[in-house]
């Protein structure tokens, strides 16, 4: 049985270099993501054969992250298979990217059922299009942004910092109060993860923007570089009674990013129809397919 331990900030010292070298575009491959969702998903980590291994348990179901490291996947995957057997749990591995599927099939012939899962596909956008909102298909988004500018000419986007963290937390609580359609568990999990991002903002090297109107916070966004050409947005919250706040904070923050980020990963929709509709309305360049691996 693999000796997994709860993820801590100190684990960043060995996990982050492995993630950087892997250069993956999937949103799972972020230390901050794992650390901030650790309570909801009971995330535990281990190092085997130079690979980063992670185990999650959410609502009674355990799953392993696809191993991250250099070299063949056969040894770390075999270790995960044995770990599941030792624990007496069904084997499941998530976060598998298209380029890993052939290696898994060749290394374990006939053993796995490898299936794409639409609900966990990442939405990948061209950064330049989000910056300009150009083109006929984004006409509605431009209208929302222009309407916001007309209604709130005194708006301002400022970087999230120690000085405005209290405003960010105030906004987060106001957002939560408005989301009564979410179940208590869903809301508490999301609220806890975003609050952890804010509480550990500096130590996790996160970046973000706070959108204010006449000094009052109306929206925020939080992200970080994911790989050499992709930036990931981990959270974006806005007050629903402020029309255009979401597209406004989206555009303004992306405009602050370095030109080296060709793509913006806005993560998955988790099967939420409203979120899916919103993400599709921004015309993604493509959906990054991710696979779930179980025993055949």
**pLDDT interval class at 183 (50, 70, 90):** low
Query: What average pLDDT does range 268-290 have in this prediction?
Result: 96
Of 135-149, 182-196, 223-237, the range with the lowest mean pLDDT is: 182-196
pLDDT tens digit sequence for 15-32 = 999 999 999 999 999 999
Residues 45 and 3: their CA atoms lie apart, in Å, by 8
At 245 the pLDDT is 97
Query: What average pLDDT does range 194-219 have in this prediction?
Result: 97
Query: 125 CB contacts (<8 Å, ≥6 apart)?
Result: 263, 264, 266, 282, 283, 284, 285
At 155 the pLDDT is 97
At 181 the pLDDT is 65
Query: What average pLDDT does range 149-170 have in this prediction?
Result: 97
232 DSSP β-pair partners: 224, 265
Q: Higher-confidence residue: 115 or 178?
A: 115
pLDDT tens digit sequence for 79-124 = 999 999 999 999 999 999 999 999 999 999 999 999 999 999 999 9
Query: 38 CB contacts (<8 Å, ≥6 apart)?
Result: 6, 7
**pLDDT interval class at 226 (50, 70, 90):** very high
Position 187 pLDDT exceeds 90: no
- Percent pLDDT > 90 in the chain is 95
Query: What average pLDDT does range 129-147 have in this prediction?
Result: 96
Position 180 pLDDT exceeds 90: no
Q: Percentage helix, strand, coil, to 5, in the chain?
A: 40, 25, 30
At 178 the pLDDT is 83
At 259 the pLDDT is 95
Query: What average pLDDT does range 38-57 have in this prediction?
Result: 97
Write down the pTM of the prediction: 0.96
């Amino acid at each position: 049985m693999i000796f997994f331990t709860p993820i801590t900030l100190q684990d960043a010292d060995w996990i982050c270099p492995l993630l950087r070298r892997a250069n993956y575009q999937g949103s799972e491959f972020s230390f901050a993501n794992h650390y901030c969702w650790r309570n909801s998903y009971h995330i535990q980590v281990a190092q085997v054969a130079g690979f980063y291994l992670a185990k999650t348990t959410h609502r009674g179901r355990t799953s392993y992250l696809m191993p991250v490291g250099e070299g063949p996947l056969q040894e770390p995957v075999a270790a995960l298979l044995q770990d599941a057997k030792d624990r007496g749990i069904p084997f499941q591995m998530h976060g598998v990217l298209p380029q890993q599927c052939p290696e898994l099939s060749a290394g374990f012939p006939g053993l796995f059922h490898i299936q794409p899962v639409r609900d966990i596909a990442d939405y990948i956008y061209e950064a330049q299009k989000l910056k300009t909102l150009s083109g006929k298909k984004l006409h509605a988004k431009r209208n929302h942004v222009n309407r916001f500018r007309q209604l709130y000419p005194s708006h301002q986007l400022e970087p999230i910092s120690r000085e405005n963290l209290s405003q960010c937390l105030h906004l987060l609580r106001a957002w939560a109060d408005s989301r009564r359609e979410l179940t208590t568990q869903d809301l508490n999990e999301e609220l806890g993860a975003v609050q952890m991002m804010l509480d550990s903002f500096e130590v996790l090297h996160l970046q973000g923007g706070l959108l204010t109107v006449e000094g009052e916070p109306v929206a925020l966004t939080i992200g970080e570089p994911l790989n050499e050409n992709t930036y990931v947005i981990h959270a974006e919250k806005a007050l629903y009674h402020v029309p255009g706040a979401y597209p406004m904070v989206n555009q303004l923050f992306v405009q602050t990013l370095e030109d080296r980020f060709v793509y913006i990963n806005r993560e998955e929709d988790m099967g939420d129809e409203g979120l899916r509709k919103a993400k599709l309305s921004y015309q993604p360049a493509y959906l990054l397919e991710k696979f779930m691996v179980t025993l055949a």
